[in-house]
Amino acid sequence: MAATALATVVVTWAAPFQTSAEASAAGCSSGSHGSAGYAYAGFESSKVSSGVRATIAPLRAPSVQAGHAAAWIGVGGKSAGRSGETMWLQTGIAALPNTPPMVYAEITRAGRDPVFVPLLENVQVGDRHRLAVLEMNRRPGVWRVWVDGKPATDPIVLEGSHRLWKPIATAESWNGGVTTCNGFGFRFERVGVARSLGGSWRTFQPGFTFEDRGYRVRQLRPAPGGQRTLSSDPIQAYAFDAASAA
pLDDT at 233 over 80: no
Give the number of other CB atoms < 10 A from CB of residue 99.
16
Which pLDDT band holds residue 234 (cuts at 50, 70, 90)?
Answer: confident
pLDDT at 41 over 50: yes
Q: Cα 212 vs. chain centroid, distance in angstroms? A: 15
Query: What pLDDT sits at residue 245?
Result: 84
Q: What is the pLDDT of residues 201-213, one digit of tens each?
A: 999 999 999 999 8
pLDDT at 21 over 50: no
- Tell me the C-alpha distance between 168 and 170, whole Å: 6
Q: What is the pLDDT of residues 157-181, one digit of tens each?
A: 999 999 999 999 999 999 888 878 8
Q: Name the more confident of 15 and 143.
A: 143
> Exposed, middle or buried by CB within 10 Å (0-12, 13-18, 19+), for 83?
exposed
Q: What is the pLDDT of residues 71-97, one digit of tens each?
A: 999 999 999 999 999 999 999 999 999
Q: What is the value of pTM for the model shown? A: 0.85
Q: Please, what is the average pLDDT of the chain? A: 85
Complete DSSP assignment for 205-246? -EEEEEE-TTEEEEEEE---TT----TT-SSPSSEEEEEE--
